[in-house]
Amino acid sequence: MELLRDMGKDQQSLWARVLAFIGRILLAISIPLIAFYVLYLGFLFLRDSQAPRVVITLVAIVWGVGGVAILYWIFNGLVELLPDAWTTRLLPFVFVGPAMAILGWYLAVPTLRTFYISLFDRNGPPDGMNFLQQLGSQAFVGLSNYKAVFTHPLMLEAFRNNLMWIIFGSTLSVAFGLIIAVLADRSRIENFAKSMIFLPMAISFVGASIIWNFIYEYRPAGQPQIGLLNAIVVGLGGTPQAWPQWVDIAPWNNLFLIVIVIWLQAGFSMVLFSAALKGIPEELMEAGRIDGASEIQIFFRIMIPYIQGTIISVWTTIVIFTLKIFDVVWVMTGGQFGTHVIATQFYRQSFTNRNSGFGSAIAIVLLIAVIPVMYYNLRQFREQEAF
């Protein structure tokens, strides 16, 4: 069937194929372009109007969502007016074109552009020059931004901290998730416990930072402590500390930030492990018990090997996540006190220091660090059929 259709395509005239190609590209680009223009007009109206905020909110929502939906409808109608052969040729691109055009603008092309910018100094490629002139200009610095990424002391600090995030953050999230999943599986309060542990996933990083800032809240010794951690420490006879800001123990003060992410992510790993544990055949566990294995032995010899695939895919997911960690560090410490990570360095270089060459080089390094983990993760993800 497929083969026949392919042969049929070869017999089309060259002219028709060129025309179809142009038509497809045009369709792909024109829908987002018109959508953009329509949304832009609406936005101008919203900006200039003095309506109450609730009205503006409603108009924004209806305009944004409705505008895009109507465009698909119009373009589909137009293409369906064409002769049948042309409808079949062009219609798929009404459907798939806008997505590809937007992905191109927002992800594919920026990756190349960021790489290109990373080869230049702090102001990026000079304006008003063509490609070759830019490469020949003073601003072109080759790979020296990358050299800086791997030698700058703050970057080295960031790499070290990200490594801590991966080692402690991902591993402990997985460990806690696994322990809770195993315990919940044998408990009568399973659903309640799982909901409560999963709940932090609904909270933003900024919200979580506030929650934990409150726990770490520091008052000088002698005053009543309102932060839970310091209250406990003082109650046990210790001295209060501003935990994440406690530079004396650097780099271990990072652990106080990492705890936040463990708190957020344990629920995620728990749910995946819980599902995987329910997939272990009961006969397998029963056989182990009959052979006299203790619960601990069953856990290590039967459960862990059986759900190994899930453990690795959960771990890699959280590794990717911790590689890109930004909000928690930015809100809690702003990267001070020796807590910078790659993403906060990227932000600082790109937007605070306005050194776009350096910032872009960091972004590319981040991409390269994520690729192998992500590749592995996506392969696992398909096997898990999580969705």
How far apart (Å, rounded) are the C-alpha atoms in residues 99 and 101? 6
263 near other proteins, rule: CB under 8 A: yes
Minimum CB distance to other proteins smaller for 321 or for 337: 321
366 near other proteins, rule: CB under 8 A: yes
95 near other proteins, rule: CB under 8 A: yes
Q: Which residues contact 220 (CB under 8 A, 6 or more apart)?
A: 240
Min dist CB 59 to other proteins, Å, is 9
Say how many residues touch other proteins, by CB under 8 A.
Answer: 118
Q: Which of 29, 175, 231, 233 binds other proteins (CB under 8 A)?
A: 231
Question: Interaction with other proteins in 322-351: which residues (CB under 8 A)?
Answer: 324, 326-327, 330-331, 343, 346-347, 350-351
Q: Nearest-CA neighbor of 322 among 158, 149, 208?
A: 158
**Of 145-153, 162-170, 264-272, 299-307, which part binds other proteins (CB under 8 A)?**
264-272
Cβ density class 343-356: b for 16+ within 10 Å, e for less: bbbbbbbbeeeebb
Question: Interaction with other proteins in 293-322: which residues (CB under 8 A)?
Answer: 295, 317, 320-321
Question: Interaction with other proteins in 21-40: which residues (CB under 8 A)?
Answer: 36, 39-40
How far apart (Å, rounded) are the C-alpha atoms in residues 265 and 168? 12
43 near other proteins, rule: CB under 8 A: yes
Instruction: Give the x-and-dash track for 98-117 against other proteins (CB under 8 A).
Output: xxx-xx-xxxxxxx-xx--x
How far apart (Å, rounded) are the C-alpha atoms in residues 242 and 216? 6
251 near other proteins, rule: CB under 8 A: no
First to last CA, the chain: 31
Report whether 218 contacts 241 (CB < 8 A).
yes
Helices (H) and strands (E) in the chain, counts: 20, 0
Q: Classify burial at 330, counting beta carbons within 10 Å of its beta carbon; exposed 0-12, middle 13-18, buried 19 or more.
A: buried
**Of 149-157, 166-174, 208-216, 239-247, which part binds other proteins (CB under 8 A)?**
208-216
Question: Interaction with other proteins in 171-200: which residues (CB under 8 A)?
Answer: 176, 179-180, 183-184, 186-189, 192-193, 195-200
Q: Which of 271, 276, 303, 311 binds other proteins (CB under 8 A)?
A: 271
117: number of Cβ within 10 Å: 21
User: What's the half-sphere exposure (Cβ side, CA atoms, 13 Å) at 171?
Assistant: 7
142 near other proteins, rule: CB under 8 A: no
Q: Which of 149, 174, 272, 311 binds other proteins (CB under 8 A)?
A: 272
Q: Nearest-CA neighbor of 259 among 165, 178, 331?
A: 165
Min dist CB 99 to other proteins, Å, is 4
91 near other proteins, rule: CB under 8 A: yes
Sign of CA dihedral 347, 351, 353, 355: positive
